[in-house]
Amino acid sequence: MYRVGVVTGTRAEYGLLKPLMEKIEKDCELELCLIVTGAHLEEKFGYTCREIMEDGYSVFYRVPMDLKSDTPEGICVSMGKELTGLAEVYGQAGLDLLFLLGDRYETLVAAIAAMMFRVPIAHLHGGEITEGAVDDAVRHSISKMSALHFTSTENYARRLRQMGEEPERVWNVGALGVENIKRIPYLTRDELCGRYGPLFAEPYILVTYHPVTLEINKAKLQFEEFLRVISRREEYNFIFTYANADMEGDEINRLIDQYVEKHEKACAFKSLGQVGYLSALRYACCVAGNSSSGIIEAPSFHIPTINIGNRQKGRECSGTVVSCGNSEKEIEKAFAYALGKAFIDRCKEYSNPYEGENTSDRIVEVTKAALNRGITIKKSFMDM
């Protein structure tokens, strides 16, 4: 039996990883070793480790990061604490493979430690581009440390091969988030209202807005531009989910709290959970902000996404996505276009480029074959 590690540090990442974790746990040749870190262990981000335990998973290891500060210095200190904790975990766990998803700094630390312990890494969502965030460089760095790659589109698979990765290590399987959309038991609208409040009963827009981490000290000004626009959209309720544990994320969350306190047609959540969030997407009139969920998951519901600023710049997009700049005028124009009847009707016709077939099954199948052959972490750089 092969011991397969999965590291999760945020609510969104955990929701994406769930179908893969379920398949690993049920497979007679694999043993799941779950490692929980980052925002999952912080009360100010909802202590979402509780959700993991409520889902029935045994948390093998907890690695606290003490995310007390969102300054560069504070994040570096937290990354150092995580590295120390993972050194102890990897020394005990006896992993044959480690799954990592995406591009966050806590994921980078997990990759660095795994590389030092010679644990092969299987990386999900490599090859993507997000030009406005440090995540872009983090993602590519993790890819170069990884032995297997599972991409969400063929364009991203091609980019990894362009980066010198051997073609036989790269598999385009689609996005796990889209697979979740096909498989979860959704809440009804009445159940949404009962669980999260009456604002879900009327037309609403779902908002997730994160700092653009390569645009230093601009999060507050950029988000205030957005808030001015939505304050005039009185025909909609606004459902906010908090920003990630990124630099300047605390400032955005503070502004969300201030806005909700002054506007009875708005509410905010540290975490809706996977079922809650996807159910909220299902009934939303529109998604607004700069989260990857507006690019990757929302198109499967055939609703408009208003994608603001440079955070997701470079990602492959469905026709349901309307991108705009950060200014009040540009955001206002994007809202007017995206919420027009003509565009809403067209959204019903667009497909989602991130949709794959049996994504988690294919990942497990490829992984088991690689483990049975023997995974080498020695890679050749393939020149184009």
Q: Is 261 found in the same domain as 120?
A: no
Q: Report the pLDDT value the prediction gives residue 248, as an integer from 0 to 100.
A: 86
Q: Which pLDDT score, from 0 to 100, does residue 244 have? A: 85
Is 382 part of a structural domain of the chain?
no
| 289 in the same domain as 242 | yes
User: In terms of domains, do 245 and 339 share one?
Assistant: yes
Residue 214 per-residue DSSP state: T
Say whether both 264 and 363 belong to one domain: no
Verify that 123 and 254 share a domain, yes or no: no
User: Per the structure, how many domains does the chain have?
Assistant: 2
Strand partners, 269: 241
193 and 144 both lie in a single domain: no
Same domain, 66 and 167: yes
155 with 197, same domain?
no
User: How many CB atoms lie under 10 A from the CB of residue 153?
Assistant: 22
On whether residue 139 sits in a domain, the answer given is: yes
pLDDT mean by block of 10 residues, the chain; 384 residues: 96 91 95 96 91 88 93 94 98 97 96 98 96 90 98 97 97 95 94 97 96 83 96 96 87 96 96 93 97 96 97 95 97 98 97 95 97 95 89
Residue 284 covered by a domain: yes
- Tell me, yes or no, whether 25 and 62 share the same domain: yes
Note whether 319 and 133 are within 8 A (CB): no
Q: Which domain holds residue 79?
A: 2-174+356-373
Write the CATH number for 222.
Answer: 3.40.50.2000
In this structure, is residue 378 part of a structural domain? Answer: no
Residue 152 lies in a domain: yes
Dihedral of CA atoms 125, 128, 132, 135 in degrees, nearest 10, equals 40
Q: Would residue 180 count as lying in a domain?
A: no
* The pLDDT value given to residue 125: 97
Backbone angles phi, psi at 214, to 5 degrees: -95, 0
* 206 and 115 within one domain: no
Element (H, E) at 120: none
- Do residue 57 and residue 12 come from a single domain? yes
Give the pair of three-digit tokens for residue 73.
């210095």
